[in-house]
C-alpha cells in the first residue's frame, strides 16, 4: 500500500482476483437453494410453496444484513469485518447442511443471508484500494466475480446435489467460506475508515438520502421489480423442469447455465450509459423483461424456448442494474456506500417478496400464474419509467 491507501501495482492483480472470487463465492450462498426446492420439500415433507420460503427468507436476511452490517464498512476495519462475518456464514451453512427439521433449516437460511452481505462490503473496499486511474476497471472486475457467482450458483448446487445429495452444497460452501476468510486476512491490507460519526448517525443519514434523492428511490424500486421477475422465474422453473420436462437434478443444473449469458449485458449497458443512452436503455430492458416472461409462459412445453426466455430475462435484469448503478453512483460521491445500501436492500426485499408470491402462485395457478406475476412486475416498472421520462421532458410535471 502507498500513503494514499491504494494498492501497489505488483499486488493489484492478486487483490483483484481475491476480491472477485470472495464476492462470487459469498453471494452464491443466496442462490444455491433455488434449483433444490423440490428435493428440500421432499426431505422435510413440506409443500413446494413452503419450500420456496427458503429463497424468500434467505433474501430477506440479506436485506437485513445490508441495512445492519453494510454501513459498518464506513466505521470498522474492513478486512476484520469481512473475515469475521465469513466465519459466521460458515457456521450458518453447517447448521443448514445438517438441519434435522425445516424450522431449523429456515432459521439457518436467514443467518446465511444476513452474513453473506460480505460481498457488498468488499466492493466499496475494492474502490478504496484501486489507484484512481484504474478504479473503474478494478471495481468492474470484482463485480464480474460477483455476477458469475450469482449466475453459476444454481448450476453448481444442482450438479453437487445430483452427485452427493442436496445438503452437500451447504457443507462445501461452509468450507469455502473458511478458506476465503483466511485468504482475505493474508492478502488484503488493513483499512480503517476515517469517519467522525457514530453508527446511529450513519444510519440516520441513510433515511435522509432516501428523502432527498428521488432518482435513487425510482431506480431502487424499478430494479426491485426487475429482480422480482428474475426471482419468480428462477425460483419456480426448477419445479416446472422436474414436473413438466422430467429433468434430473443434473439436467436442471445444465439448464441454469443459460443464466450466465446475463453477464454479457453489463459491458453493453455500460457503453450505452457512457454514450448518454441510459434512459432509453432502461426502457428497453423493462420491455425485454416483460417479453421474456410472456415467452416463458407461451413456450413452457419447449426447453429451448424456456432457455431463451431465461437468457432474455437475465440480460434485461443485469442491463437495467448496470444502468441504474451508473445513475445513482453519480448522485453523491461522498455517500456511495449508503446509496448502495438503499439500492441493494430495496432490490432484495423485492426479490424476497416475489419469491414468496411465486411459490404460492405455483401451488395455486401453476407456471402461468408465476409468469404473469413475473411480467406484471417489470410492467409496473415501465409505467414508473414512462412517467419519469415524461417528467424529464415536461418539468412542470415534477413534484414540488
- What pLDDT shows up at residue 3? 46
Q: Are residues 161 and 208 in the same domain?
A: no
Distance CA 1, CA 12 (A): 10
Q: Are residues 47 and 139 in the same domain?
A: yes
Which of these, 153, 154, 157, lies nearest to 169 by C-alpha position?
157
Interacting residues of 286 by C-beta distance below 8 A, sequence separation 6+: 222, 226, 316, 320, 378, 379, 381, 382, 385
Helix (H, G, I), strand (E, B) or coil at 319: helix
CA 382 to the chain's CA centroid: 21
Q: What CATH number is associated with residue 20?
A: 1.20.1250.20
Q: Are residues 124 and 201 in the same domain?
A: no
Q: Are residues 234 and 347 in the same domain?
A: yes
In this structure, the number of other CB atoms found within 10 A of the CB of residue 192 comes to 11
- What pLDDT shows up at residue 399? 42
Do 223 and 318 contact (CB within 8 A), yes or no? Answer: no
What would the grid cell of residue 303 be?
A: 426447453
Q: Are residues 247 and 385 in the same domain?
A: yes
- What pLDDT shows up at residue 274? 65
Q: Are residues 364 and 240 in the same domain?
A: yes
Distance CA 26, CA 18 (A): 12
CA within 13 Å, CB half, 364: 11
What would the grid cell of residue 178 be?
A: 473458511
Interacting residues of 191 by C-beta distance below 8 A, sequence separation 6+: 5, 77, 78, 79, 125, 128, 129
Q: Are residues 169 and 242 in the same domain?
A: no
The label of the residue with cell 435522509 reads 208
How far from 372 is each of 178, 297, 336, 362, 368, CA to CA, in Å?
41, 8, 35, 11, 6
What would the grid cell of residue 399 be?
A: 413534484
- What pLDDT shows up at residue 313? 92
Q: Are residues 290 and 373 in the same domain?
A: yes
- What pLDDT shows up at residue 146? 82
Q: Are residues 227 and 169 in the same domain?
A: no
The label of the residue with cell 480503517 reads 192
Specify the pTM: 0.74
Q: Are residues 373 and 389 in the same domain?
A: yes
Positions of the chain with pLDDT lower than 50, given as ranges: 1-4, 9-10, 398-400
Q: Are residues 226 and 364 in the same domain?
A: yes
Show which of 176, 196, 216 is a domain's final residue: 196
Total structural domains within the chain: 2
- What pLDDT shows up at residue 97? 95
Helix (H, G, I), strand (E, B) or coil at 271: helix
Q: Are residues 249 and 136 in the same domain?
A: no
Show the domain range for 215. Answer: 197-400
Distance CA 243, CA 37 (A): 13
Distance CA 165, CA 142 (A): 31
Show which of 144, 178, 196 is a domain's final residue: 196
Show which of 196, 220, 241 is a domain's final residue: 196
Distance CA 201, CA 294 (A): 46
* Interhelix angle 9-27/78-98, nearest 10 degrees: 30
Interacting residues of 184 by C-beta distance below 8 A, sequence separation 6+: 18, 22, 79, 82, 83, 86
The label of the residue with cell 457512457 reads 274
Distance CA 229, CA 58 (A): 17
Q: Is 251 left (phi over 0), alpha (psi -120 to 50) or beta?
A: alpha
Distance CA 94, CA 49 (A): 24
Amino acid at each position: 500500500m502507498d500513503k494514499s491507501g491504494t494498492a501497489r501495482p505488483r499486488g493489484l492483480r492478486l487483490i483483484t482476483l481475491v476480491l472477485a472470487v470472495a464476492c462470487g463465492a459469498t453471494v452464491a450462498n443466496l442462490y444455491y437453494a433455488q434449483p433444490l426446492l423440490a428435493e428440500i420439500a421432499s426431505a422435510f415433507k413440506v409443500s413446494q410453496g413452503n419450500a420456496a420460503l427458503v429463497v424468500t427468507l434467505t433474501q430477506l436476511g440479506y436485506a437485513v444484513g445490508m441495512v445492519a452490517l453494510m454501513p459498518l464498512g464506513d466505521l470498522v476495519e474492513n478486512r476484520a469485518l469481512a473475515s469475521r462475518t465469513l466465519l459466521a456464514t460458515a457456521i450458518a451453512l453447517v447448521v443448514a447442511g445438517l438441519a434435522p427439521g425445516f424450522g431449523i433449516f429456515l432459521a439457518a437460511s436467514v443467518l446465511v443471508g444476513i452474513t453473506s452481505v460480505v460481498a457488498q462490503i468488499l466492493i466499496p473496499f475494492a474502490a478504496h484500494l484501486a489507484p484512481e486511474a484504474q478504479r473503474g476497471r478494478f471495481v468492474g472486475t470484482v463485480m464480474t466475480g460477483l455476477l458469475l457467482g450469482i449466475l453459476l450458483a444454481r448450476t453448481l448446487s444442482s450438479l453437487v446435489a445430483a452427485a452427493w445429495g442436496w445438503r452437500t452444497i451447504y457443507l462445501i460452501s461452509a468450507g469455502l467460506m473458511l478458506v476465503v476468510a483466511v485468504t482475505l486476512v493474508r492478502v488484503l491490507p488493513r483499512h480503517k475508515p476515517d469517519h467522525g460519526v457514530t453508527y446511529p448517525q450513519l444510519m440516520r443519514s441513510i433515511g435522509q438520502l432516501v428523502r432527498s434523492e428521488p432518482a435513487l428511490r425510482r431506480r431502487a424500486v424499478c430494479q426491485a421489480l426487475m429482480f422480482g421477475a428474475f426471482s419468480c422465474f428462477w425460483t419456480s422453473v426448477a419445479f416446472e423442469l422436474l414436473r413438466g420436462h422430467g429433468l434430473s437434478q443434473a439436467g436442471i443444473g445444465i439448464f441454469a447455465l443459460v443464466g450466465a449469458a446475463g453477464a454479457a449485458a453489463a459491458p453493453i449497458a455500460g457503453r450505452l450509459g457512457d454514450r448518454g443512452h441510459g434512459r432509453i436503455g432502461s426502457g428497453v430492458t423493462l420491455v425485454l423483461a416483460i417479453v421474456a416472461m410472456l415467452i416463458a409462459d407461451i413456450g413452457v412445453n419447449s426447453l429451448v424456448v424456456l432457455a431463451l426466455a431465461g437468457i432474455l430475462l437475465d440480460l434485461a435484469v443485469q442491463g437495467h442494474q448496470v444502468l441504474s448503478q451508473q445513475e445513482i453512483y453519480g448522485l453523491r460521491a461522498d455517500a456511495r456506500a449508503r446509496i448502495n445500501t438503499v439500492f441493494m436492500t430495496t432490490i432484495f426485499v423485492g426479490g424476497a417478496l416475489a419469491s414468496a408470491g411465486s411459490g404460492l402462485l405455483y401451488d395455486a395457478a401453476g407456471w402461468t400464474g408465476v409468469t404473469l406475476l413475473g411480467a406484471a412486475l417489470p410492467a409496473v416498472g415501465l409505467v414508473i419509467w414512462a412517467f419519469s421520462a415524461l417528467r424529464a421532458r415536461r418539468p412542470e410535471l415534477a413534484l414540488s
